[in-house]
């Protein structure tokens, strides 16, 4: 019961440290659609979305891996050159 709350705190810390802010600003609407489960692939009502994210936050490592894969998080230890190369095509 407490593990998703702990993982949420860890996720917030990870996003603050390694978050790709230019990409977040560029695709703000898409990020909110994903968070509130309003996109076409994963459409849920608000109550179902709350339970969905509660379940997803039980496994933080998979969520962080997905965010790294889609470019929302930089890899740990990424240099400024690597970060700018990733954001070159925004």
Q: What pLDDT is stored for residue 13 in this prediction? A: 95
pTM: 0.79
List the domain range (segments joined by +) for residue 47. Answer: 3-86
**DSSP-derived 3-state class of residue 19:** strand
Tell me the mean pLDDT in the region 23-28: 88
Q: Residue 12 — pLDDT band, cuts 50, 70, 90?
A: very high
Structure-token pair, residue 56: 């997803």
Q: CA 59, CA 40: separation in Å to the nearest integer?
A: 23
Number of domains present in the structure of the chain: 1
Contacts of 82 (CB under 8 A, 6+ apart): 74, 75
CA distances from 13 to 3, 6, 7, 53, 62 (A): 15, 11, 10, 17, 16
Tell me the mean pLDDT in the region 51-73: 88
Residue 1 confidence (pLDDT) above 80: no
Q: What pLDDT is stored for residue 35 in this prediction? A: 83
Q: CA 55, CA 88: separation in Å to the nearest integer?
A: 34
């Amino acid at each position: 019961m407490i593990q998703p709350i702990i993982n949420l705190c860890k996720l917030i810390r990870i996003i603050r440290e390694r978050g790709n802010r230019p990409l977040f600003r560029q695709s703000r609407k898409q990020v909110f659609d994903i968070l509130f489960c309003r996109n076409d692939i994963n459409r849920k009502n608000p109550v179902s979305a709350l339970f969905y994210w509660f379940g997803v936050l039980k496994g933080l490592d998979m969520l962080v891996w997905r965010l790294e894969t889609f470019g929302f998080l930089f890899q740990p230890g990424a240099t400024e050159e690597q970060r700018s190369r990733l954001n070159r095509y925004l």
